[in-house]
Structure 1
């Protein structure tokens, strides 16, 4: 069975490790704190350390990168991690499966596909685009890489920093108001976490390198529509409202993370739509039906509020 090194054990890395281990693959999970995940060997390392990463990847068929540094550190952390990944892959021969996002595209006026140009001028978008382009350019050193891209994710395990995470569904379940970034009436692509994991697994198995894949997206509903459906289907009384402009401006001046969130607000001020039909066809994947995904998300949120 294949061997994988998964870097990161967060909302995506942890369920990916479990999925791979459950099907019988050998899995190592590498984090800075040595986080343990059932079915995998836990390693403690800084993935920017090329020597440590190379040692951890010895004998691995793939390195799956599911880590993501804090926004303010992207400008230093991502270039260093990319350098270490290139050195490790060139030395070990392991393929790289990079979990990505849509930041590299910048503002768009039509549905994004696997071939939409990486035209962002925003600094985080450029960082992610540059990392991917460096991996592609390293093909002449024998480096094999793919990137799996998703819009914002939701589902059990999506935490406070996710736009459709616990700070969105938690208030809805509790009958309060969820405050959200941007225009809450605009359609937006939302990826269900289990579908993100399924796409990563399919990309690992597909053995086609040097390209991007897109995850399926369970819905393109606006946040107002999602809140209304939650009220209608589950009897919830919570609602969603955009942040008060003055309060939002003050927060983004004083909180570094929120300042970086504001730089990406364009994704929520107009339709942000994904066409993943090519990836679905070639990888044999499809989105979880939206009602099923919403049921699981509301159920997990209710369970969390009872603890």
Structure 2
């Protein structure tokens, strides 16, 4: 049995892929968010197309939902009984409160994995490398961040890595750049607020320099990397990077959207002064501005180890963009929480 903590964009995809390859999955969320059978069948077909489904499995697994707060060690430990792997795919929605909200989640998940004997796969990001990191960023690069959100992620991973090195459990972290894809919603840098205006013939506005090359992680590729990492038979106690298609600036992405839609409207950005003014009234925006360095200079990922060792490759832009735009056109792009 596999326990997936979180039923958002990544947690649901991971759960469906695990079940499609024959695993029985428990999805733990505060409200017991269900995953329906038609979603599972769709995931099975998608996993087969990407080569994720195991040919040795004769049946699809099951998905069962339970209510458990990600910060509640006792509830997670109960949900993890009999689990061979725990995937932490939850993420505190209140961006500006990570310093207080993340540590209890790390503590509870570590306790559940240690008590149950399950392996632990963390879904992470690239914040801990920090401003001025070597480009492209590789899995074994030092974590040099001085920004608060990056320090929170770094501290959580280092605590779990210490437990791994003591032999308390086996753990890995899967790190992805900014995500995009069907369902990516309004908070993603490459989500509704970027693609929506382009489809309406209007210029989207973002942070940083829209001409800077950036690695973007397609949601399906993130889920595939998590599933592959959970079954890795080599050395744990390390990080994996989610493969991304070639780095593109937001200007270049807008140009590709224009080629698909016939609407070439370009991209603009918020001025630093305007952002500082808006941040005065919005703690969430203030936290986003703190990590805006990722869009003011090249921000590029090296995922060659994932490609070679895990066998996961990035979805090309010409394959990823059409369904992303189609979801927005159909009104089905609301991100699940």
- Shorter-chain TM range is over 0.9
Match of 2:27 in 1: 29
Match of 2:275 among 227, 236, 248: 248
Instruction: Tell me whether 1:91 sits opposite 2:115 in the alignment.
Output: yes
CA separation in 2, counterparts of 1:170 and 1:77? 31
The equivalences for 1:1-307 within 5 A come to: 3-38=1-36, 39-69=62-92, 70-107=94-131, 108-139=133-164, 140-207=166-233, 208-304=235-331
Instruction: Please report how far the alpha carbon of residue 269 of structure 1 lies from its aligned counterpart in structure 2 after TM superposition.
Output: 0.4
Decide whether the 8 Å contact of 1:102 with 1:150 is kept in 2: yes
CA deviations over 1:103-126 (Å, ceiling 9, x no partner): 000012421001111110111101
Query: Does the 8 Å CA contact 1:206/1:283 hold for their aligned counterparts?
Result: yes
Alpha-carbon displacement from aligned partner over 1:111-161 (angstroms, at most 9, x marks no partner): 100111111011110110110000011121522110000100101111111
| Alpha-carbon distance, 1:305 to partner | 7.8
- Alignment partners' CA distance in 2, 1:162 and 1:306: 12
Partner Cα separation in structure 2 for residue 238 and residue 96 of structure 1: 45
The farther-off stretch of 141-150 and 185-194 is: 141-150
Contact 1:173-1:237 within 8 A present in 2 as well: no
CA 292–306 in structure 1, closer or farther in 2 if over 3 Å, else same: closer
Deviation (angstroms), 1:42:
0.9
SS at match of 1:99: strand
Name 2:54's counterpart in structure 1: none
Instruction: After TM superposition, give the deviation of residue 71 of structure 1 in Å.
Output: 1.3
Partner SS for 1:12: helix
Give the C-alpha shift of residue 237 in structure 1. Answer: 4.1
State the distance in 2 between where 1:169 and 1:238 align: 11
C-alpha deviation, 1:188, in angstroms: 0.5
Unaligned runs of 5+ in 2: 37-61
Q: CA 1:96/1:9 → structure 2, altered by over 3 Å: closer, same or farther?
A: same
Give the equivalent residue in structure 1 for 2:47: none
The Cα shift of 1:33 comes to 1.3
Following TM superposition, the consecutive aligned residue runs of length 4 or more in structure 1 with deviations greater than 4 angstroms are none
Number of residues of Structure 1 aligned to a counterpart in Structure 2: 305
Farther off after superposition, 233-242 or 68-77: 233-242
1:61-98 Cα shifts (integer Å, max 9, x gaps): 11101111121221122111111122111111001100
How many angstroms apart in 2 are the aligned matches of 1:289 and 1:232? 16
Aligned residues: CA RMSD: 1.6
Q: Normalising to structure 1: TM-score of the pair?
A: 0.95
Separation in 2 of the partners of 1:173 and 1:99?
Answer: 31
| 2:49 matched residue in structure 1 | none
SS in 2 for 1:206: coil
1:15–1:197: 8 Å Cα contact kept in structure 2?
A: yes
CA deviation string 1:212-255 (max 9, x = no partner): 00000123100011101211232124432101444322211111
Q: Residue deviations 1:141-192, cap 9 Å, x none?
A: 5221100001001011111111001111111111122111111000001011
Q: Any idea what the Cα deviations from partners look like across 1:250-289, whole Å, max 9, x if unmatched?
A: 2111111110000001000000011101111000111111
